[in-house]
C-alpha cells in the first residue's frame, strides 16, 4: 500500500508556518490544496525572527547521499508534537500528518536552495523549494517552472531547481514520498565506502536514536538490535548497491510505475535476499537500452568484467538528456561513483548463464548532436 494517495505541488509548494494544519486563506474553500508560504522563515525551520533552527527540528544524514553535482547538503526533520512515524512496513514508513522535512544545498560555502516536503493532510504531500538571496539573509519560494541557471558548476552547466512536475516524478515513484529517511539510510551500521559519505552532524538521528526518543512505532526491535546493512559479497559491492539504491531505486523498484521494466535497484532494509534479487535484474541481463558502439548481442545492463558493455554505467556517465541516469537533478557525472562501479564491474563481477532479453523492443539511442564538452 502506498503511503500517499495524492501529491501536491504548487510552485513546489511547502507548508504553512508553525501550525500543523495548513493556512488556506480567508477566502479559501475546504477543497483548496494547501499552499506554500512565500518565505522560508515562515515554514517552521527556524525560531521566529532568527536563523537558529527551531528546537523541534532534528538533523539527519543518510548513509548513501543522493548525488547532487557536488553540493554540500544539510537535512532536518520535524514531527508533530507527540507523534511518531509508523514503521509497520519497514520498506515504506508512514509519516504523521504535519511531518516536515528540509534539505539545504550549498556550493562553495554559499547556501543556494532549501527544499521541503510536508505531509499536509491524509492525502496531500506538498513540496517546495526556496532560493536564497546572494547575501544569504532570506530565501523565497521558487516559481512553478523552477530555476534553470541558479549556480554555474561548469561552463554551460548550472545547478537547477526542478519544476513542480519534476519534483513529483521522483517523490511519487516509490513506496514512500520521503526519500533518504528510512531504516537502511539511518542505520547505525554505516557503510565506510559509501560515495560522498558524510559525517553525522551533532545530535543526528539514527535508527536507534529514533527508537530511543519514541519517534518511530512500533519500534523495529530487530533492526535496532542488528542494524540493517546491505548483504553483499564484498565491501565494494555493498557500497555499489547502496549507491544505486539511493540514486536510482526511488524509481527502479518493485512497487512504482517502472516496475514493469524488471530492473530493481532498491534494497529493502530487512531483506537479506534483496541484494541478490537486485543483482539478478542487472548482471549479465540484456536490456532495452543498447550501449552505443557495442554489438547488440553483447550489450548488457551490467556486463561482468566489461564496463564498456554495461548500460547502467554508460547511462550514469552520460549527461545527454536522452540517455543520462538519473534523468533529473544533476548536470555533472559523479566521478567517485563511476570509479567505484567501474572497478566493481571489472574486478568483482563474474559471468552468469545468459538470460533472455528484458524486452524485444531494444532502444538504440540516437547519436547526440555536436556540442561543447565532448561526446556522451
Q: What is the mean pLDDT of residues 143-155?
A: 86
Is 368 a member of any domain? no
Clarify whether residues 266 and 216 are in a common domain. no
Quote the pTM value: 0.84
Confidence of residue 152 (pLDDT cuts 50, 70, 90): confident
Both 141 and 242 in a single domain?
no
**Span 264-274, pLDDT tens digits:** 998 887 676 67
The domain in which residue 255 lies consists of: 235-347
Indicate the pLDDT class of residue 16, thresholds 50, 70 and 90.
very low
Domain count, the chain: 2
The answer on 208 and 293 residing in a single domain is no
Please indicate, yes or no, whether residues 103 and 52 belong to a single structural domain of this protein.
Answer: yes
Long-range CB contacts (< 8 A, 24+ apart) of 309-316? 310/345, 311/287, 312/244, 312/282, 312/341, 313/338, 313/341, 313/342, 313/345, 315/289, 316/341
In a domain, 204, yes or no: yes
Name the band, by pLDDT with cuts 50, 70 and 90, for residue 210: very high
* 12 inside domain: yes
pLDDT at 32 over 80: no
Helix axes 235-248, 335-347, angle to 10 degrees: 130
Q: Where are the alpha helices (DSSP H) in 267-328?
A: 274-280, 311-317
pLDDT band for position 359 (cuts 50, 70, 90): very low
Q: Same domain for 193 and 328? A: no
Residue 360 lies in a domain: no
> Of 209, 207, 204, nearest to 59 (Cα)?
204
- Both 218 and 239 in one domain: the answer is no
Specify whether the CB–CB gap between 116 and 14 falls below 8 A. Answer: yes
Could you tell me if 200 and 242 lie in one domain?
no
Residues 267 and 341 in one domain: yes
Please, which pLDDT band fits residue 171 given cuts at 50, 70 and 90?
Answer: low
The answer to whether residues 140 and 266 belong to one domain is no
Residue 137 lies in a domain: yes
Helical H segments across the chain, by residue range = 164-171, 207-212, 221-225, 235-248, 274-280, 311-317, 335-347
Residue 364 lies in a domain: no
Q: Is residue 1 part of a domain?
A: no
Does 105 lie in the same domain as 32? yes
Whether residues 28 and 95 share a domain: the answer is yes
Quick check: 112 and 125 in contact, CB under 8 A? no
Average pLDDT for 101-122: 94
Is residue 367 one of the residues assigned to a domain? no
Site of grid cell 554505516 = 190
**CA separation for the pair 199, 22 (Å, rounded):** 34
Kindly state whether residues 122 and 241 are assigned to the same domain. Answer: no
What is the pLDDT confidence band of residue 100, given thresholds at 50, 70 and 90?
Answer: very high
Amino acid at each position: 500500500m502506498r503511503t500517499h494517495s495524492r501529491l501536491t505541488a504548487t510552485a513546489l509548494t511547502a507548508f504553512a508556518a508553525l501550525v500543523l494544519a495548513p493556512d488556506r486563506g480567508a477566502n479559501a474553500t475546504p477543497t483548496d490544496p494547501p499552499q506554500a508560504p512565500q518565505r522560508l522563515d515562515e515554514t517552521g525551520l527556524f525560531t521566529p525572527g532568527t536563523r537558529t533552527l527551531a528546537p523541534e527540528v532534528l538533523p539527519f544524514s543518510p548513509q548513501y547521499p543522493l548525488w547532487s553535482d557536488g553540493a554540500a547538503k544539510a537535512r532536518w526533520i520535524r514531527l508533530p508534537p507527540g507523534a511518531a512515524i509508523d514503521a509497520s512496513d519497514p520498506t515504506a514508513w508512514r509519516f504523521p500528518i504535519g511531518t516536515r522535512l528540509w534539505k539545504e544545498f550549498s556550493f562553495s560555502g554559499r547556501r543556494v536552495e532549501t527544499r521541503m516536503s510536508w505531509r499536509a493532510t491524509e492525502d496531500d504531500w506538498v513540496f517546495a523549494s526556496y532560493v536564497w538571496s546572494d547575501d544569504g539573509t532570506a530565501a523565497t519560494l521558487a516559481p512553478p517552472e523552477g530555476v534553470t541557471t541558479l549556480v554555474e558548476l561548469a561552463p554551460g552547466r548550472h545547478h537547477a531547481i526542478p519544476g513542480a512536475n519534476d519534483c513529483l516524478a521522483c517523490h511519487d515513484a516509490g513506496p514512500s514520498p520521503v526519500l533518504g529517511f528510512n531504516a537502511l539510510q539511518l542505520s547505525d551500521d554505516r557503510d565506510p565506502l559509501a560515495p560522498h559519505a558524510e559525517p553525522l552532524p551533532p545530535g543526528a538521528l539514527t535508527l536507534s536514536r529514533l527508537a530511543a526518543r519514541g519517534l518511530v512505532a512500533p519500534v523495529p526491535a530487530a533492526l535496532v538490535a542488528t542494524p540493517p546493512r546491505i548483504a553483499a559479497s564484498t565491501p565494494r559491492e555493498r557500497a555499489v548497491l547502496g549507491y544505486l539504491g539511493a540514486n536510482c531505486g526511488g524509481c527502479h523498484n518493485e512497487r512504482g510505475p517502472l516496475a514493469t521494466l524488471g530492473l530493481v535497484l532498491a534494497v529493502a532494509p530487512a531483506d537479506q535476499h534483496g541484494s541478490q534479487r537486485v543483482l539478478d535484474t542487472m548482471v549479465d541481463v540484456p536490456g532495452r537500452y543498447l550501449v552505443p558502439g557495442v554489438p547488440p548481442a553483447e550489450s548488457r545492463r551490467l556486463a561482468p568484467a566489461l564496463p564498456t558493455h554495461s548500460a547502467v554505467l554508460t547511462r550514469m556517465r552520460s549527461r545527454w538528456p536522452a540517455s543520462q541516469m538519473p534523468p533529473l537533478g544533476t548536470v555533472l557525472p559523479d566521478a567517485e561513483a563511476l570509479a567505484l562501479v567501474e572497478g566493481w564491474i571489472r574486478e568483482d563481477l563474474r559471468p552468469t548463464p545468459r538470460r533472455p532479453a528484458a524486452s524485444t523492443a531494444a532502444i538504440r539511442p540516437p547519436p547526440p548532436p555536436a556540442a561543447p564538452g565532448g561526446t556522451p
